DNA sequence: AAACAGTGTTCACTATATGTGAACGAATTA
DNA sequence: TAATTCGTTCACATATAGTGAACACTGTTT
C-alpha cells in the first residue's frame, strides 16, 4: 500500500521542520526550506493554526508550534506502558546513586529517552530527553541495538554515522564489534562517546519473547561515576533482571 | 479566509480524539467516533503512522499516539518564552513554600499549565499540567481571565460551564462577580473549586501593554495552605510584580 | 516624501488527490 | 464449521489542493 494522504504527509513534514530547526519561521523561509509555493505554505500554516497545532506571533507574524502539540506529547508519555512500568524503578535507582537515570526505548530506527530523572547534585548531567537520536549513539541505545536482530543493525548503520565527540565510534566494523561485546557481557559502559567527561551505564529490559526494545541507563560525570561503577552496575543489572522477569521474560 | 486544507483539519481532529479519549483505538471505533468511513480512517492512520505521529500495536492492531508527538510537545515547552523566563522564579517559590507551583498561560479560550514543580512533601498536590482546561476553572486561569478584555469573558463563558466539584462556581453572574473581585484585589485565592481539599493562590503577570496572558500559582492541601496564606501571597505578589516589571510593565 | 524591497496574505483555475462502500482475508467467537 | 468482527484494500466519481501572480502592508532606503 502506498496511497498515503499527500497533504497529511506534508503537514507532518512541515511540523517536523520545527523539531531540529528554528523555533520561529516565516512563510517565505518555510517556502524555501520545503520547496513549496508560498501560497501552499501559508494555507498549511493557517489550517494548523486554526487547530492549535501552530501559533502565530501577532507582532512579528512568525509561526511557531502550538500548545495542542504540548497536550499530545504529554499524552504520549502518560499513555506509555514502559514509562508507567519503569517510573518507580527509575526513582529507586536515582535515590541510590544520586545520578541522572533514564528509560530509553527504540522507535523504528531511532532511540528516545522517554522518561528521566536528573541528579539532585549541583554538578550533574542533565539528560536531553524526548528527542530522537541514532541507536548507535549512547550506551542506553547501543544496548537496545545490540540485542536487536541483525537487520536492525543494518538499518541503524545505514545512514551516515554522526560523531558527537572525538571518541565517538564512527567506523562501522568498530561499532559492530562494540555491539557484539555488549551482547556477550549483557550491559554497556562507555565514556566520552556522546558527551565529553560523561559516563553511561546501561542494561537492557528483556521482553517475554526475548526481544529488547527498552533499556535503563545511569548517566553522570565520569570522575564521580568511575569509583562507583561496580556498585551501580550490579544494582542496575539486578533491577533490569527483575523488570525483565515482570514483563514475562524467563 | 476559509479555505483550509480539509484532510489536514481531519488529521488534527483525529489526533485530538486521543487527548481526552482512550489511549488505544481501533479503526472501527474511530470510524464510529468521527463518523468517517473505515477506509478513510485507515488511510489517515497509516499515513500518520508512516510519519511517526501514530503507532500501531502489532499484536492487537490497535493504534495509539506516536513518539514524534513527544518530540514536538517537548519542543513547544522548550521554545516557550514564558517557560524559560519563569523557570527560576518557580524554583524560588517552590523552595520557599515547599508547595506545588505552576505557570499558567492562556491559549485562545483555554488555559494550560505550561510548566510546574510538584511539592517535595509526602502529602502534596500533583499538578495535572500540559492539558487544556476552561479559563474559569482554577485560581491561576481565573486570574488571567479576570484581567482579560470583556470579550474574553464572553468567549470563555459561552460554552456550558463544567462543575468540577460541589463548590465550583457554575452560575454566570456568580463567575462574573468573582472575576470582578479578582480584578479589584489583584490576585485570587480559592479552595475546593477544582479539587476538594485543595487551595490555590494565583497572581497575574502583566505585560508591557498592560494585558495579562500568564499567571503564577501556588497549589496545596488546604489545611497546610491556610496558616501560610498571608506569607505565601505576599511572596507571590512580590515575585509577579518583579516579573511584570522585567517584561516591560510599568 | 517617495520609491523600494521585504513581508504575509488572497485568489481563480486546472490538475490532482481523496472519500466512498463494497469486497477481502485473517482472526476470533458461537 | 459457520458466523461475526476486525483491519485492510481497491477503482472510480467527486471534491480538493497547488500554482503563481497580484495584493496589502510594513519598514527601509533613497
Is the residue at B150 inside a domain? yes
Which residues from chain B sit within 8 angstroms of residue A209, using beta carbons? none
Task: With CB atoms and an 8 Å threshold, state whether A12 touches B53.
Answer: yes
Which residue is it, cell 544496548?
A143
Residue at a domain's end among B42, B71, B100: B71
Task: With CB atoms and an 8 Å threshold, state whether A11 touches B11.
Answer: yes
Q: Residue B50 sits in which domain range?
A: 6-71
Output the distance from B42 CA to C21 C1' rounded to whole Å. Answer: 14
Q: What is the DSSP annotation of A52-113?
A: TSEEE-TTT--EEE-HHHHHHHHHHHHH-HHHHHHHHHHHHHHHHH-SEEEEEEEETTEEEE
CB-based contacts with strand D under 7 Å? Answer: A 1, 6-7, 10, 36-40, 43-44; B 3-8, 26-29, 38-39, 42-43, 45-46, 56, 61-62
Three cell numbers written together for B49: 503512522
The answer on pLDDT for A197 being more than 70 is yes
pLDDT by residue (tens digit) across A112-169? 999 999 999 999 999 999 999 999 999 999 999 999 999 999 999 999 999 999 999 9
Query: Is there a single domain that holds both residue B37 and residue B134?
Result: no
Stretch A11-16: mean pLDDT, rounded? Answer: 97
Q: How many Cα atoms within 13 Å fall on the side-chain side of residue A23?
A: 11
Query: Is there a single domain that holds both residue A55 and residue A173?
Result: no
Using alpha carbons only, how large is chain B's radius of gyration in Å?
Answer: 20
Three cell numbers written together for B207: 505585560
pLDDT by residue (tens digit) across A63-122? 999 999 999 999 999 999 999 999 999 999 999 999 999 999 999 999 999 999 999 999
Question: What are the backbone dihedrals phi and psi of residue A249, each rounded to the nearest 5 degrees, phi first?
Answer: -80, 135
In three-state form (DSSP H/G/I as H, E/B as E, the rest C), the secondary structure along B141-172 is HHHHHHCCCHHHHHHHCCCCCCCCCCCCCCCH
- Count of domains forming chain A: 2
Query: Is there a single domain that holds both residue A142 and residue A25?
Result: no
Count other Cβ atoms within 10 Å, centred on residue A167.
13
Q: Which residues pair with B216 in a beta bridge?
A: B103, B203
Query: Is there a single domain that holds both residue B49 and residue B88?
Result: no
Task: With CB atoms and an 8 Å threshold, state whether B75 touches A4.
Answer: no
Residue B37 CB partners (closer than 8 Å, separation 6+): B31
Is the residue at A1 inside a domain? no
Residue A210 Cα, gap to closest chain B Cα (Å) = 16
Q: Which residue is nearest to nucleotide D19 (CA to C1')?
A: A37
pLDDT score recorded for residue B224: 97
3-state helix, strand, coil in chain A (%, to 5): 50, 20, 30
Query: Is there a single domain that holds both residue B57 and residue B141?
Result: no
Query: Is there a single domain that holds both residue B60 and residue B86?
Result: no
Query: Is there a single domain that holds both residue A206 and residue A125?
Result: yes
Interface probe with A: pick from B37, B71, B95, most Cβ of A within 10 Å = B71
Cα separations (Å) of A10 from A13, A30, A35, B128? 5, 12, 11, 32
Query: Which positions on chain C have an atom < 7 Å from some protein CB?
Result: 6-12, 16-23
Cα separations (Å) of A217 from A115, A134, A180, A206, A236? 11, 16, 19, 14, 8
Residue B65 CB partners (closer than 8 Å, separation 6+): A72, A75, A76, A79, B15, B18, B23, B53, B54, B55
Output the distance from A195 CA to C1 C1' rounded to whole Å. Answer: 58
Residue B147 Cα, gap to closest chain A Cα (Å) = 19
Task: With CB atoms and an 8 Å threshold, state whether A67 touches B47.
Answer: no
Is the residue at B113 inside a domain? yes
Output the distance from B36 CA to C13 C1' rounded to whole Å. Answer: 29
Residue at a domain's end among B29, B46, B71: B71
Tens digit of pLDDT at every position of chain B (250 positions): 568 999 999 999 999 999 999 999 999 999 999 999 999 999 999 999 999 999 999 999 999 999 999 999 999 999 999 999 999 999 999 999 999 999 999 999 999 999 999 999 999 999 999 999 999 999 999 999 999 999 999 999 999 999 999 999 999 999 999 999 999 999 999 999 999 999 999 999 999 989 999 999 999 999 999 999 999 999 999 999 999 999 999 8
Task: With CB atoms and an 8 Å threshold, state whether B72 touches A18.
Answer: yes
H or E segment to which residue B7 belongs = helix B6-20
Residue B185 Cα, gap to closest chain A Cα (Å) = 30
Query: Is there a single domain that holds both residue B159 and residue B125?
Result: yes
Mean pLDDT of chain A: 96
The answer on pLDDT for A235 being more than 90 is yes
Query: Is there a single domain that holds both residue B153 and residue B186?
Result: yes
8 A C-beta contact, residue A113 and residue A86 = no
In three-state form (DSSP H/G/I as H, E/B as E, the rest C), the secondary structure along A146-195 is HCCCHHHHHHHCCCCCCCCCCCCCCCHHHHHHHHHHHHHHCCEEEECCCC
CB-based contacts with strand C under 7 Å? Answer: A 3-8, 26-29, 38-39, 42-43, 45-46, 56, 61-62; B 1, 3, 6-7, 10, 36-40, 43-44
pLDDT score recorded for residue A172: 95
Residue B235 Cα, gap to closest chain A Cα (Å) = 25
Count other Cβ atoms within 10 Å, centred on residue B165.
13
pLDDT by residue (tens digit) across B62-79? 999 999 999 999 999 999
Which residues from chain B sit within 8 angstroms of residue A8, using beta carbons? 7-8, 11, 44, 47-48, 51
8 A C-beta contact, residue B187 and residue B241 = no
Question: What is the chain A residue with the closest CA to B77?
Answer: A70
Output the distance from A44 CA to C1 C1' rounded to whole Å. Answer: 39
pLDDT score recorded for residue A250: 85
Query: Is there a single domain that holds both residue A180 and residue A156?
Result: yes
Which residues from chain B sit within 8 angstroms of residue A54, using beta carbons? none
Query: Is there a single domain that holds both residue B64 and residue B162?
Result: no
pLDDT score recorded for residue B237: 98
Can you tell me the distance from the alpha carbon of A115 to that of A126, in angstroms, rounded to the nearest whole number?
12
Cα separations (Å) of A76 from A108, A203, A229, B114? 16, 24, 33, 16
Query: Is there a single domain that holds both residue B178 and residue B237?
Result: yes
Three cell numbers written together for B55: 503507532
Query: What CATH number is given to the structural domain containing A206?
Result: 3.30.450.40
Is the residue at B232 inside a domain? yes
Amino acid at each position: 500500500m502506498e496511497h498515503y494522504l499527500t497533504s497529511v504527509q506534508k503537514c507532518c513534514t512541515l511540523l517536523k521542520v520545527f523539531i531540529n530547526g528554528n523555533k520561529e519561521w516565516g512563510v517565505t523561509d518555510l517556502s524555501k526550506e520545503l520547496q513549496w509555493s508560498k501560497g501552499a505554505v501559508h494555507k498549511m500554516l493557517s489550517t494548523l493554526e486554526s487547530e492549535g497545532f501552530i501559533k502565530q506571533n501577532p507582532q512579528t507574524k512568525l509561526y511557531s508550534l502550538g500548545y495542542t502539540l504540548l497536550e499530545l506529547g504529554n499524552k504520549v508519555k502518560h499513555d506509555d506502558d514502559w514509562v508507567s512500568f519503569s517510573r518507580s524503578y527509575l526513582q529507586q535507582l536515582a535515590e541510590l546513586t544520586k545520578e541522572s537515570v533514564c528509560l530509553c526505548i527504540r522507535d523504528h530506527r531511532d532511540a528516545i529517552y522517554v522518561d528521566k530523572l536528573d541528579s539532585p547534585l549541583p554538578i550533574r548531567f542533565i539528560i536531553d530527553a524526548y528527542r530522537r537520536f541514532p541507536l548507535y549513539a549512547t550506551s542506553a541505545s547501543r544496548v537496545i541495538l545490540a540485542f536487536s536482530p541483525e537487520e536492525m543493525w543494518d538499518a541503524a548503520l545505514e545512514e551516515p554515522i554522526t560523531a558527537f565527540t572525538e571518541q565517538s565510534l564512527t567506523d562501522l566494523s568498530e561499532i559492530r564489534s562494540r555491539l557484539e561485546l555488549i551482547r556477550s557481557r549483557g550491559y554497556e559502559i562507555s565514556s566520552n562517546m556522546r558527551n565529553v567527561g560523561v559516563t553511561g551505564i546501561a542494561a537492557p529490559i528483556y521482553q517475554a519473547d526475548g526481544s529488547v526494545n527498552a533499556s535503563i541507563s545511569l548517566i553522570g560525570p565520569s570522575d564521580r561515576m568511575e569509583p562507583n561503577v561496580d556498585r551501580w552496575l550490579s544494582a542496575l543489572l539486578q533491577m533490569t533482571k527483575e523488570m525483565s522477569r515482570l514483563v514475562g521474560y524467563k
